Chain A
């Protein structure tokens, strides 16, 4: 017994056979989660697989396979992926929704095209998720988008989320807009507290 160099070499030199695209799509429906995960990982090299990967994401029960699906979609990127992940913001499945938000946060250019639409969505939850995306979105317009929420938004939870985010990314010239929130919602003590905190944070920078 001890340190040993053995089958590793043979194993590493085993030829890994490439599987065709159609075979991989079939493997997405395999009963084995391991096989489904392997298929997803290989499909990340096929841009034409986006629709199948998105459809699989909504029905896949295994966390590890879902993570692989999100990773593959992130790797493939592009407008169909962004549009597909945005539809998941309406999902009742919080884990799936959060996964979609995390990937969208890494796609600033693609998400930028949809941001105003998301911030004006009829569903206040979707508007909050849009602000969640903005929290980590590396896009120069992120502070302006958040500011637009302060001006136009009427739902207290959405405004409150935007104020929290502006505490992190806001600039000094945005302080008057933030302070105006206290007048628009005079009975909301928590919001007044959040506005004061955000203004202090911005001024500290």
Chain B
């Protein structure tokens, strides 16, 4: 068979196959893999091919694209998205949230109205739980105001892990010991499970920023954490994400990006707000 793919012959992905996959994955997720991610992508593709019993890339690619349940596409997305973080990562933004930003948000709320926070990607849950912990520990107004935290990820499996709330020593290494003791239960194997009350206080949802219809469900947030995600996107996808965040925020709402990311280079929809501990991007109040 002249057209047999390289993967079929020697268990590798050819340049043409990599290109085809890269274009397909970009269209589905907005995530574009540059050539320097080739090893990472090939390794995961070959793993999925093995798991699903496909010997050639062509056979796997056809199966994955046309499978009615879309389960394999989701599995592939799960394996291609990186999930590595830890509690209180880039803590200065949490400090800014409780010391300054939320106090400003509260001033624009009617009595009884909740504050809504969206954290994405949730990854394995360290970020949304860090937000919750920071609010419980450092924001006295929580006694008077309801806060809803929603956290989303494209990876459906990682969301199950978020709901379980079990973490390694490495994940919790930044947490003060007293806080760890108050809100976590030690498990065997140097693992810790976050309180049930906290686990049940966060809404975890599967969401794909590239799916405009799905994204229309996310509205009326006051604060969005979207850190170290846009760095994986190209210009067009970043702009689309900025548009989605604009729609998802209430007027006057804020976004925190990762320390190496800048909304000003992506979109003119937001203005920069310099708080004493961090920069945030704000949707105009009007």
* Distance of A38 Cα from B114 Cα, bound (Å): 25
A3-B142, A4-B148, A16-B217 known; A45-B212 Cβ under 8 A: yes
* Distance of A37 Cα from B268 Cα, bound (Å): 15
Question: Is A68's CB under 8 angstroms from B243's CB?
Answer: yes
* Minimum CB–CB distance for B115 against chain A, Å: 10
Contact of B243 among A2, A14, A41 (CB under 8 A): A41
Interface residues of B (CB under 8 A from A): 114, 116, 132, 135-136, 142-150, 198, 200-203, 205, 212-214, 216-219, 235-236, 239-240, 242-243, 246-247, 267-269
For window 1-31 of chain A, which residues contact chain B by CB distance below 8 Å? 1-9, 11-14, 16, 18
A4-B201, A37-B247, A41-B247 known; A64-B146 Cβ under 8 A: no
What residues of B have a CB within 8 angstroms of the CB of A38 in the complex?
A: 216, 247
* Distance of A18 Cα from B211 Cα, bound (Å): 13
A41-B247, A64-B246, A64-B269 known; A1-B145 Cβ under 8 A: yes
* Distance of A75 Cα from B210 Cα, bound (Å): 11
* Distance of A5 Cα from B148 Cα, bound (Å): 6
Question: Is B148's CB under 8 angstroms from A8's CB?
Answer: yes
Question: Is A12's CB under 8 angstroms from B217's CB?
Answer: yes
Among B136, B143, B203, B243, find the residue whose CB has the most chain A CB atoms closer than 10 A. Answer: B243
A1-B142, A1-B146, A42-B212 known; A71-B247 Cβ under 8 A: no
Question: Is B202's CB under 8 angstroms from A5's CB?
Answer: yes
A124 CB within 8 Å of chain B: no
**8 other contacts beyond A12-B150, A63-B268, A74-B236, with CB at 8 A cut-off?**
A1-B143, A3-B147, A4-B201, A18-B213, A38-B216, A71-B239, A71-B242, A74-B235
* Minimum CB–CB distance for A151 against chain B, Å: 31
A135 CB within 8 Å of chain B: no
* Minimum CB–CB distance for A19 against chain B, Å: 10
What residues of B have a CB within 8 angstroms of the CB of A67 in the complex?
A: 243, 246, 267-269
A161 CB within 8 Å of chain B: no
Question: Is A2's CB under 8 angstroms from B142's CB?
Answer: yes
What residues of A have a CB within 8 angstroms of the CB of B217 in the complex?
A: 11-14, 16
Interface residues of A (CB under 8 A from B): 1-9, 11-14, 16, 18, 37-38, 41-42, 44-45, 63-64, 67-68, 70-71, 74-75, 106
Question: Is A8's CB under 8 angstroms from B116's CB?
Answer: yes
Question: Is A44's CB under 8 angstroms from B201's CB?
Answer: no
Question: Is B246's CB under 8 angstroms from A5's CB?
Answer: no
What residues of B have a CB within 8 angstroms of the CB of A6 in the complex?
A: 114, 148
Question: Is A71's CB under 8 angstroms from B114's CB?
Answer: no
Question: Is A44's CB under 8 angstroms from B203's CB?
Answer: no
Question: Is B114's CB under 8 angstroms from A4's CB?
Answer: yes
Question: Is B201's CB under 8 angstroms from A5's CB?
Answer: yes
A4-B148, A8-B148 known; A106-B235 Cβ under 8 A: yes
What residues of B have a CB within 8 angstroms of the CB of A70 in the complex?
A: 239
What residues of A have a CB within 8 angstroms of the CB of B150 in the complex?
A: 8, 12
What residues of A have a CB within 8 angstroms of the CB of B142 in the complex?
A: 1-3
Contact of A9 among B201, B203, B243 (CB under 8 A): B203
Q: Which residue of A lies closest to B202 (CB)?
A: A5
Question: Is A2's CB under 8 angstroms from B143's CB?
Answer: yes
